[in-house]
Copies of this chain bind each other. A is one copy, B any other.
Amino acid sequence: MRQSLARELNDLLERSRDRQLRLAVTGLSRSGKTAFLTSLVHQLRHAGWEARLDLFPAAREGRLLGAKRVAQQDLGVPRFPYDQALAALEATPPRWPEPTRGISELRLSIRYRPAGRPLFRADTATLTLDLFDYPGEWLLDLPLLDHDYLSWSLDQPLSNATELNHERRALFADWLDAVESLDPAADADEEQLAEIAALYAQGLRNAREAGFSNLQPGRFLLPGDLEGAPVLQFFPLPELSESERTALETLPEESVYRTLVRRFVHYQQHIVKPFYRNHFRRFDRQIVLVDVLSALNAGPERFEDLSQALATLMQSFAYGKRSLLSRLFSPRIDRLAIAATKTDHVTPEQHANLVALLEALLTEPLQDLRFADIPVKAMSLASIRATEAREVEYQGKRTPALRGTTLEGGEVLIFPGEVPARLPDTDFWARQGFDFRAFRPAPHSKGELPHIRLDAALDWLLGDKLQ
């Protein structure tokens, strides 16, 4: 105990001297968290040698002396599987790393020469960088804290059939059938609730497979040790009329309705809050990764869904002094980056449009953040570049193209299409001019991991700490 207190105090001291930084990486599933963190660690470890980090002044100026992995402080948090990820990228043929399933962590000790010191002076400084990786889906659960069960239930995107949710409802068809015949006033039958909850979780998985993003409750998708526990066996009650809602409040403890309420409350208290309390409020900086291109490829319903998911997710950052989050947990994130990933999957002249589109998607959250005076930057990047930009002649004109290897192993040379610089309108969707392809990582020589603008992200997130 005394030892751990001493460590905490030392941490505090290091941090007050700006010598320690806790940087978190998040994003919805498949946004590229594992690739980002793997590349980030790799670039820092090889800075000054093979890594090309021209947009990261500390590296460009030769002040970054090296980074080594050191023992992390939280013994109960899985270590970020850097070596396994790197092994996948270095396999023949190269593979994308396995996605992580919960929170993980890795600590780097970075040696650097402070800026403005004469080169011949020997004094160096050390920045301890704690890196965290956690599922963006966990942030989608934040609004749950602002709801009671009933208002949450009514707020869910399935509650009423609308023009924009028929695809989503189709993916939840089995659950919708089952829940329709459920009487909220009946005595709760554990097995029945477990079955209906399993159908709901299956619907969430279907929806994720089909490219939807706005999926709640987040823990249903990655249950881990809680698989089969009643706390993960609730679901919304759709299409309740006004009179039905009023009747619910008088139901007895054993009723289906009250049972769902209890589980919802337990989920709030024992799943959502502990993440914010034990982890989130200790992060200093955050980067949110967004796979805009896949959503653009997937059509209007999914794109709109991503937009809603991002608005929800960003609520965890755009906190005013009186927000629920601030009152409960006093978080302290002081700088934020939002990055559209996989930018190597479109041709270079589209990159500016991609950033513009990302900003358009996030107009409101970005306004809130700026209003709350939290420095935020939107960017596009490729953590690990999988393609090469080329030019081809087409109908007598030189036109940009990408050369890469598809996941199946075929060499292709394509022009994926134009990224709209604003939110796509009906016209865009009608043209369907976008042909987004997934590529496998390119083979690379040891020590060098090609990227696009990862160095700019590094500078935004770390640069001021390496002055």
Which residues of A come within 8 Å of B, CB atoms? 3, 69-72, 75-79, 81, 83, 102, 104, 188, 190-191, 194, 224-231, 254, 259, 262-263, 266, 270
Bound complex: CA of A3 vs CA of B102, how far in Å? 31
By the criterion CB–CB under 8 Å, are B79 and A228 in contact?
A: yes
- A to B CB contacts below 8 Å, 6 in the list: A72-B190, A75-B229, A75-B263, A76-B231, A76-B266, A104-B228
By the criterion CB–CB under 8 Å, are B78 and A229 in contact?
A: yes
- Nearest B-chain residue to A3, judged by Cβ: B262
Bound complex: CA of A3 vs CA of B78, how far in Å? 34
Looking at A83, A230, A259, which has the most chain B CB atoms within 10 Å of its CB?
Answer: A230
Chain B residues, Cβ within 8 Å of A71: 188, 190, 230, 254, 259
A6 CB, min distance to chain B CBs, angstroms: 10
Bound complex: CA of A228 vs CA of B102, how far in Å? 11
Given contacts A71-B190, A71-B259, A191-B69, contact A79 B224 (CB under 8 A): no
Bound complex: CA of A78 vs CA of B229, how far in Å? 4
Candidates B78, B81, B194; contact of A226 at CB < 8 Å: B78
By the criterion CB–CB under 8 Å, are B75 and A230 in contact?
A: yes
By the criterion CB–CB under 8 Å, are A229 and B262 in contact?
A: no
Bound complex: CA of A81 vs CA of B263, how far in Å? 19
By the criterion CB–CB under 8 Å, are B102 and A225 in contact?
A: yes
Given contacts A83-B191, A224-B224, contact A229 B77 (CB under 8 A): yes
A174 CB, min distance to chain B CBs, angstroms: 17
By the criterion CB–CB under 8 Å, are A230 and B104 in contact?
A: no
Bound complex: CA of A266 vs CA of B76, how far in Å? 8
Chain B residues, Cβ within 8 Å of A226: 76, 78
- Nearest B-chain residue to A227, judged by Cβ: B78
Bound complex: CA of A460 vs CA of B226, how far in Å? 32
A52 CB, min distance to chain B CBs, angstroms: 25
Candidates B81, B225, B254, B262; contact of A225 at CB < 8 Å: B225
Bound complex: CA of A254 vs CA of B70, how far in Å? 10
Bound complex: CA of A231 vs CA of B78, how far in Å? 9
Bound complex: CA of A72 vs CA of B79, how far in Å? 34
Bound complex: CA of A83 vs CA of B228, how far in Å? 12
